[in-house]
Structure 1
Amino acid sequence: MDTSRRTFLATTGLAGLVPAGALPALRRRAADPFTLGVASGDPAPDGFVIWTRLAPRPLAADGHGGMGSADTDVEWQVAEDRAFARVVRSGRVRARHASAHSVHVEVTGLRPGAEYFYRFRAQGHLSPAGRSLTTPAPGAAPSMTFAAASCAYYEHGYFTAYRRMAEQHPDLIVHLGDYFYEDSAGDKPQAQPIIRRHVGGKCASLADYRLRHAQYKTDPDLQAAHAAAPWAVTWDDHEVENNWAGTTPGTKVPGFPARKKAAIRAYYEHMPLRASALRPNGELRLTRQVTWGDLAAFHILDTRQYRDDQPCEDGVRVGCDARLDARRVLLGAGQLRWLDAGLRGSRARWNVLAQQIFLAQRDHRLGPGAEMALDGWDGYTAERDRVLRGLAATRNPVVLTGDVHVAHANELRTDFDDPGSPRAGVELVATSISSDGDGYSDPVGGQLVRAENPHVTFIDQRRGYIFCRAAPDALRAEFRTVPYITRRGAPAATAATFTVPDGARTFDPR
């Protein structure tokens, strides 16, 4: 028996459960099943979810990672130290073939506001260790850090921004969607150079979606980010299909219900989500709240699953009166009620909405007339007005947004056509991790956009993420960028910093 396995079994209390006859078999170990790394998520005061998936051959075409049809036992540990000398929770879980040998352990009984480390053991192999945190107890309001990211296209470049994010050791990582892309370079002409290839074509079956998730999870930079901190995830469109909306597909390819069902199952299998996220009716419940004591409440939204189809055939359009229709829904009635109740009942100093699509009004046409992107909130203006009214009555609302591959800092107003209307809060828009290639800095173009949209304070086309420091007196947001992602190893720098003082609802101009 190798030393790492002996130590693991001793500290879990499982050594006595290994029959003597099994010891020779342990020496003939199979290939390492932990090729997809580890992850944690949805932290609470007493615990969090820890995740892994067994896949010794992660790119096996059948989507099962080379595991075969047998279910497999996986042992797990949570410790107070990186060396696992002080193990506080441990156990065994079954990795089932039907779930692509993924496991979700909901760890409980931990101390609030504490740092922990976790790992798994299976088939004689020890997984990498991950770091996670429990959230502070209600009433506590210590400062915290969190990062926000979105839009990682494997074929457009390397995930260097994930690595730089991990190096900052945030307390929480909020992923805002487009974790992967369901299409491939061969599906359509590409404006960007293809740096590395997806395995397979456009995702259609459960095996396709599992394989795409697995390929992304083999990326070492993404693995580092998952291992660095707990994540709170929500999806956008590409985890299923570009620009899908509720029951309406984003393409004219038949078979959308089956694709959506497969995508939902594969997404759950590969994310550190609680079992309650996967509903008996096949819906994926991503709407939830993560609270950080009394300092911050993260209200996590789903802007895909409950919306009406986009108006005017989608895209960026001039005109389109249908977008103003008061009957059009994006969050849907149930999610809106949940959000209203959560905002009204929040005790948090900072109320952070983690959602996917551009909330502020954005006129894409320079000069007379208006040209709006109808997949975002500009296609659902009546419901946006209701959300903004709710934010205006909430303490320190900060909206986190992804999707558009361009970093923005926006002031949110109750009437974007009236610069003197009341401020509802601020919006921080993360650029992409890698989608659309290297990116660029365009100060002149940014000035033109801001002149057309005076509530836009900052715009930057480079790749990267947002890193925030929240304290009782202020929230500080750093827009972190990398100069290139078409080759490895780019450094990260802070392109701009914005501070939102407690009670200000706007950026400190200093």
Structure 2
Amino acid sequence: MTRTGRVSRRQLLGFGGASAAAVLLGNGVWDAASAYAAPAGTGNPFTLGVASGDPSADGVVLWTRLAPDPFAVDGAGGMPATPVRVEYEVAVDERFRGVVRRGSVIAMPELGHSVHPEIHDLAPGREYHYRFRVNGEISPAGRTRTMPALWSEPRELNFAFASCQAWQDGYFTAYDHMAAEDLDFVVHLGDYIYEYGVRTNKRGVTTDSRFHTETFDLARYRLQYALYKAEAPLQAAHARFPWIMTFDDHEVENNWASDLSQADTEPDQDPAVFRQRRAAAFQAMYENAPLRRAQMPSGPDVRMHRRLNYGRLADLTMIDTRQYRDDQPCGDGMGTGCADRLDTERTILGAEQRKWLLDGFSSSRARWQILGNQAPIGQTDHDPGPGVTVWYDPWDGYVADRNRVLAAAQDRNVRNLVVITGDRHQNYAWDLKRDFEDPDSPTVASEFVGTSISSGADGADMNDDGVKFLAANPHMKFFNAQGGYVRVNVDRRRWRSDFRVLPYVTRPGAPISTRASYVVEDRRPGVQEA
């Protein structure tokens, strides 16, 4: 059994449609495993793979979801509506001769027969192997790694970050290449699924009618996750490294903001109805991701902002730019002269999360501050002339919050702030200015925007956006619009981002190459070509 964890009354009483017992049993808090035998003859229950996540210096959370028929129309994965015991093992070797943790948890139908055992008392900075067993069926083995000890001084950190994997736009080949890298962990910055139907797709395949509709309820969200998680490259990358995950908009609905749906024409335009949709989306996300109890949804609410430490080399701070934001100014699109985007009262973080973020700047002793962020912080002007034309959904629509965060990085003497970002389906390396309205404003941080795994289809090395952006944004040093991910190496003297890109994603088997590499030097904010 895993160590009993503290669960708040709010989590016990407010977890969407799942019972408190389901939550506790699925996380290994209660040891009632002997009461639940696995049903016979259901087939391979591990069709969606295995994963680990949110590593700490002494542990990690493991994940699997039992689904012998992942595409069952009711979203239940072909499982009976009964609890099932799931055994797990953690070993220091891939042959499982040196097992160091062994236990069991209960997969409950209320949580889609997913389990999230949290493993404790492991050694820091150590590689481990894990697997699950149900009714004589053994899962594929996964590999994970704990973080270094909190006060240690690691020599280097290697990780990759990714985002935006629209199934209908292409194949997940990038994950095959990522799985071959030597990484300590993977950061996923959102848009793990897209809510759209996939009847029309760039893969050129015929899909079942159950996947043709947009996702609104729990059963449909479960099916959408099954479609994505059945992809072998994605399973391989999950099984190879621990993942640190958050969401952006498409895990729920495009461009949602707090309690507001994007479009008045959709059936969930009413905030109360939209919150029901959000609760279903968050529950399906939890059921299909290696998230800890601290990230359990409570109905339509979930706390995803959190910090993870990589010794004293780096702190990784994951933020949430969806749940606490004001509505986008001047609509969700792009425009010029929107005064509301400059309103000092507008926020993308919410006051409480912003204070938590800035207090972390002051208290951290890490050499590098990594900010896991969903949509670009840096200004993206589309107008090479004197005007400023920007999208309103990212931080360009919330200028006051951007200025507060970047000013605090300088005023609180953050040693090295580097932002990693998704959303855009394009690669950028650029400087972050204290105030983009002032052409003489100092550079106070650096941002690397990573491209998509597949969203936007094949892309191009350069396109019309790139031409305009490079002309209009002097803080932008690099642009590329091919699919892939960003590989990062950090040591005590410098940060290096390698933009790993694919020539195509609309057919499988694409090779990968490093299109460009950019660095940030210790105590010198701003990006430089390697």
TM-score, normalisation: structure 2:
0.88
Structure 1 unaligned spans of 5+: 1-16
What is aligned with 1:163? 176
Distance 1:66 1:418, change over 3 A: same
> 1:328 aligns to what SS in structure 2?
coil
Percent identity reads 47
Distance 1:194 1:338, change over 3 A: farther
Name the CA distance, whole Å, in 2 between partners of 1:95 and 1:437. Answer: 37
What is aligned with 1:8? none
Question: Deviations for 1:199-255, whole angstroms, at most 9, x for unmatched residues?
Answer: 241001100001111111100000011011111101000000000000001122133
- Contact 2:279–2:297 (8 Å) recurs in 1: no
What is aligned with 2:491? 471
Choose which of 405, 409, 416 in structure 1 pairs with 2:425. Answer: 405
Name the CA distance, whole Å, in 2 between partners of 1:426 and 1:196. Answer: 43
- Contact 2:94–2:129 (8 Å) recurs in 1: yes
Distance 1:124 1:251, change over 3 A: farther
1:116 and 2:128 equivalent? yes
Paired amino acid for 2:497: A
- Contact 1:478–1:496 (8 Å) recurs in 2: yes
1:476 positional shift = 0.8
Choose which of 431, 437, 442 in structure 1 pairs with 2:457. Answer: 437
1:74 positional shift = 0.3
Distance 1:444 1:210, change over 3 A: closer
1:318 positional shift = 1.8
1:302 and 2:313 equivalent? no
Paired amino acid for 2:188: H
Name the CA distance, whole Å, in 1 between partners of 2:361 and 2:224. Answer: 36
In the TM superposition, 1:31-70 aligns within 5 A as: 31-70=43-82
1:29 positional shift = 4.4
Paired amino acid for 2:182: H
Deviates more, 1:28-37 or 1:460-469: 28-37
1:279 positional shift = 4.7
1:441 positional shift = 1.1
Distance 1:271 1:445, change over 3 A: closer
- Contact 2:276–2:300 (8 Å) recurs in 1: no
Name the CA distance, whole Å, in 2 between partners of 1:337 and 1:184. Answer: 38
What is aligned with 1:12? none
> 1:73 aligns to what SS in structure 2?
strand
Name the CA distance, whole Å, in 1 between partners of 2:390 and 2:179. Answer: 35
> 2:355 aligns to what SS in structure 1?
helix
Distance 1:194 1:429, change over 3 A: farther
- Contact 1:30–1:123 (8 Å) recurs in 2: no
Distance 1:274 1:18, change over 3 A: closer
1:446 and 2:466 equivalent? yes
Name the CA distance, whole Å, in 2 between partners of 1:249 and 1:101. Answer: 29
1:404 positional shift = 0.8
1:419 positional shift = 4.0
1:371 positional shift = 1.1
Distance 1:409 1:196, change over 3 A: farther
What is aligned with 1:7? none
What is aligned with 1:254? 267
- Contact 1:130–1:228 (8 Å) recurs in 2: yes
1:399 positional shift = 0.2
What is aligned with 1:390? 408
What is aligned with 1:274? 292
Distance 1:155 1:88, change over 3 A: same
Name the CA distance, whole Å, in 1 between partners of 2:73 and 2:47. Answer: 16
Question: Deviations for 1:385-441, whole angstroms, at most 9, x for unmatched residues?
Answer: 001112223111000110011110110011224343221110000100000101111
Distance 1:486 1:345, change over 3 A: same
> 1:302 aligns to what SS in structure 2?
coil
1:59 positional shift = 0.5
Structure 2 unaligned spans of 5+: 1-32, 269-273
What is aligned with 1:82? 94
Distance 1:18 1:178, change over 3 A: closer
- Kindly tell me the number of residue pairs found equivalent between the two proteins: 486
What is aligned with 1:496? 516
In the TM superposition, 1:102-113 aligns within 5 A as: 102-113=114-125
1:111 positional shift = 0.2
1:443 positional shift = 7.2
Question: Deviations for 1:254-304, whole angstroms, at most 9, x for unmatched residues?
Answer: 331211110011111111111121254641110001110111110000100
In the TM superposition, 1:276-425 aligns within 5 A as: 276-280=294-298, 282-392=300-410, 393-425=413-445
**Structure 1 segments (4+ residues) deviating >6 Å:** none
Name the CA distance, whole Å, in 1 between partners of 2:407 and 2:95. Answer: 50
Name the CA distance, whole Å, in 1 between partners of 2:276 and 2:416. Answer: 41
- Contact 2:382–2:468 (8 Å) recurs in 1: no
> What RMSD over aligned residues (CA atoms) do the two structures have, in Å?
2.0
Distance 1:440 1:509, change over 3 A: closer
1:205 and 2:217 equivalent? yes
Name the CA distance, whole Å, in 2 between partners of 1:226 and 1:401. Answer: 20
Distance 1:196 1:433, change over 3 A: farther
Name the CA distance, whole Å, in 1 between partners of 2:288 and 2:423. Answer: 21
TM-score, normalisation: structure 1:
0.92
1:444 positional shift = 7.9
